[in-house]
Every structure is written in structure tokens, then in C-alpha cells.
Amino acid sequence: MLPYFPFIDLTPDMTSSYLRQNRPFLFQAIQTVAIFSTQERLTQVEELKRILFTSAFLEVQSNIDLLLGLLTYLAWSTDAFLGRADLVSRLMMLAISLVHDLRLFKPSTPDVQAMMSITQGQADETTQSPNDQMPDGLLERQRALLACFILSSNFSSHLGRQDAIRLTPQMEEALRVITLRKSCPTNEVFVFQVRLQLLKQRADYVRQQDEIDCARTGTAHVAASAPRFLYLKTLRTQLHELISSIPPDLHQIDILNTQAQYVGLYINQLGYSIGLDCLALHQPGRIVDGGMLLDFQRLECLWQSVENIKSWLDEFYRIPCSEIIGQPFYFWSQMVLSITLLKYLSTLKDPEWDCQAVRNTVDLTSAMDCMLQKLDQSSKELQCDDHLLKFLSKLLTKCRRWAEARLKMASQLQDMGSTPCQSSNLDTTSHDDHIPYLDQMVWMQSMDLGNDQWFEDVLGIPTTFY
């Protein structure tokens, strides 16, 4: 599991005995996430929560052991898929609080340390173990800081209820130090994961600023969108350069490639969301030259998303089944998001958009068939029937039935001389008139794959799949 999100360097001398003595909460968290049975894991989770509550709230501790254990649980938690989004949201905020308490964002000045000693009888860093002051201890804290950034960014997108932590000088310095540290073989993979996530955050930040500007002025201008499209091109160039710099023989390159395609989806979103806002200001048939160019760029971003999803799926199929089961939560979030976005791209009602070309490139039902086969093969590695892969298979199976019925309806309308993406009878709602922002897929934020009532509420009626 750790090789797929290597934010901890577990050296050979860090045995279970060592961890039990020096990192007891981390050890407990590792034991918890190593249980794949949902029911069995719940028992361990309750004990983990008890220890966390006692340490963090009753005893008001802030130490690296608590932070590492909490990040470990969050990284491989299944709560966001099983109706416990509130829990992981609170735990993520607690992890960010620990990062602040440990001064990982901003080291304490001598004056602050002196005042802490006077008022509380100790400096704020004295809760650290002596090992934390060693070079390896510093690296451990720097990795934890960057891991907190990656997880907060992913939970922000998946849950849509909290902001990711922003890049700070301390994070930049941590990234620089870890990049130069060649003694740990997993550092290179981790550094690429951080850099890819930073690109995703930059794209999302620009889109959010655009929303704020539009809300403030009540308008969106073609001219104002030009620099944003320039920024989009810059981000694409940076993404391409980053992908090109990944050594082809690097271990876990397939995991990095899936993340890169996911980042590409966020960059593309910047393009078609800006374009849609501006095009809405123009009346049909009266689009000025800038609007025509904007429309072309919007369609280009939409099509690039199709290509990104196809590449994500290709990488997913190549990952060995033995490695599938150890992926962190955000990998599965990427999978669900990719197939959801493909649904929108396959049924988008836009006179300029060719839905059939999308289906010819990546067929929605065929993609879900292949994914189900992959999940089924990977499930054989596990010795239980209530693990996350089973729940994800359940989701894909139900979504496939919906997609098959929906696309069959579209085909029938096309045979009658209607264009599937333009027919008003294809969908009585406006869900397919546009593509929601990737961090505003409401049904993903409420996901409860173990609850049949949730499936009925969300997928019972075809048009409610969003």
C-alpha cells in the first residue's frame, strides 16, 4: 500500500516492535487500513477514534506520531465511499490543525518559544521525540506536510466542503529537500505526486477566482477570459514537461500516469467552464470573432477530456491486480470521477458536440465492462466479500444498466431522425445541457455504496445519475 503513496520512509530497521514503541498511533493506523473487510475494519476504526480523541482532545497532544497515523488512515480510508464523509472531513481538518500546531507551516520564532515556556511551562516543540530533531526526523515532518497537502486537495475535490491547504514557503522548501534526498528510493515518486497535485490546485484556483470575479461583477467577458486561456496553455505545457521528465523505468509510473490524466481533466475544466460562461452572454448567430475562437477552445478542452479519460482507463487496465487493492482513496475517487465525466461527455446536448465521436473513442458501457472485469479479478486477491472493490463493482454494475438504457434511447431517437444530443425528449431535465464542475458532483459527495436506499435515491431514476 505504501509504495502507491510513499509519504513515510519505513526503513528496514523500523520493525513492528520499533513502531509499537516509538510510533504507537501510526502502528495502530497501519493495522487498521491493512484490514480490507469493511465490517472488521469498523471495529478497529472505533478503537483508533478512541485513541485519537483521548490524545488530541482530552490530553491536547500534538506530535508527529498522531499526524502520521491520522494521514495514514485518511489516505486508505473507505469512509468517503460508505456514507461517512462527515467523519473524514473532520479528520482532515484535525490533520491540518496538527500541521499548524507542529509549526510545519511556519516554524516558531525564539520569542514565541520563550513565551510558550513562560506561559505553559514548555516550548511548543517539546512534544516531539528526540528523533524528530535529527535529519531523518526533519524529513519525516516535511513528508507529512506535503502528504497533508495532497490529501486535503483530494478531499476538497471529492467532498466539496473544505478548502485545500495552500502552497507555503515551507512546503516549497520541503519539496526541494526531498527532491535532493536520493537515499530514499520512493522520494522520486512522492515528489512527482506532489508536483502533479500542485498543477491541479493551480488550475482549480484559477477557476475559483473566475467564479468570484463573475459573482462580483455579474458578467463574464471574452476579453477577460483571454489571459485565463493563456494560463491554461501554460499549465498544459507544465503538465507535459512534468510527464516527460518522469523516468520510463520508474517504479509506480502507471500510478503517476493516472494522476497526470486526472490533473489534465482539471486543466481542461478551466477551459470549458470559462468558455461556457462567456458564450452565454452572446445571442445565437451573433457571436463575435472572439466568441467563435472561445467556442473552439471550449470544444477543444472538452475533447481533450475525452482523451484524458481514455488514457486514464488504459493505465488502469495495465495496473497489476495485486497492486489495485492497495491504492489510496483518491485513486478510486479519480476512477468514479472519470466514468462520471465520460457519461456527461457521451450525452452532452450541444449542437457543436459530437456525442457519437465520443462513444467511438471511449464507449461508456464497454469501459464499465472492462473496469468490472478488472475489479473482479483484483477482488480474488482478497479473502472477504465486503471490501471496497465489491462496493465499487456494485456501483459500476448499476451505472452500466442506466447507461445502457440511456444510450439505447439515444440510438432509437437517432433512428427516428433526431440528433441524440439535441433531442428534447432524451432528457426532461437540464443535467446534460452542461457539465458540472468536477468538485461539485453532489452525488459523489454523498456516496454511500453500502446503503441500498442511497442507490435507489440516486440511481433509481435515470436522470438522477449526476
Contact 172, 160 (CB under 8 A): no
Q: How confident is the model at residue 183 (pLDDT cuts 50, 70, 90)?
A: confident
Q: Is the pLDDT of residue 125 over 70?
A: no
pLDDT tens string 273-287: 764 555 444 444 334
The pLDDT of 418-423, averaged and rounded, is: 47
Triad 348, 349, 355: Cα angle to 5°? 55
pLDDT tens string 290-340: 455 567 888 999 999 999 999 999 999 999 998 998 999 999 999 999 999
pLDDT tens string 346-364: 989 888 899 999 999 999 9
Name residue 392's amino acid: L
Domain chopping of the chain, boundaries? 2-180, 187-464
| Residue 308 pLDDT | 98
- Give one word for 417, left, alpha or beta, with left for phi > 0 and alpha for psi -120 to 50: left
pLDDT tens string 137-149: 889 999 999 999 9
CA distance 412 to 132: 66
DSSP characters over 408-446 = HHHHHHHHTT--TTT-TTS-SSSTTSS---GGG-HHHHT
| Residue 101 pLDDT | 93
The alpha carbons of the chain give a radius of gyration, in whole angstroms, of 24
| Residue 425 pLDDT | 38
CA distance 23 to 37: 25
CA distance 167 to 148: 11
Is residue 408 exposed (0-12), middle (13-18) or buried (19+ Cβ within 10 Å)?
exposed
Among 61-75, 124-138, 390-404, the least confident range: 124-138
* Phi, psi (rounded to 5 degrees) for 448: -145, 80
| Residue 314 pLDDT | 96
Higher per-residue pLDDT: 401 or 409: 401
What's the predicted TM-score (pTM) here? 0.87
pLDDT tens string 186-244: 999 999 999 999 999 999 888 877 777 666 665 555 545 667 778 889 999 999 999 99
| Residue 195 pLDDT | 97
- Cell triple for residue 306? 475525452
**Sequence-ordered list of residues with C-beta below 8 angstroms from that of 45, at least 6 positions apart, any chain:** 32, 73
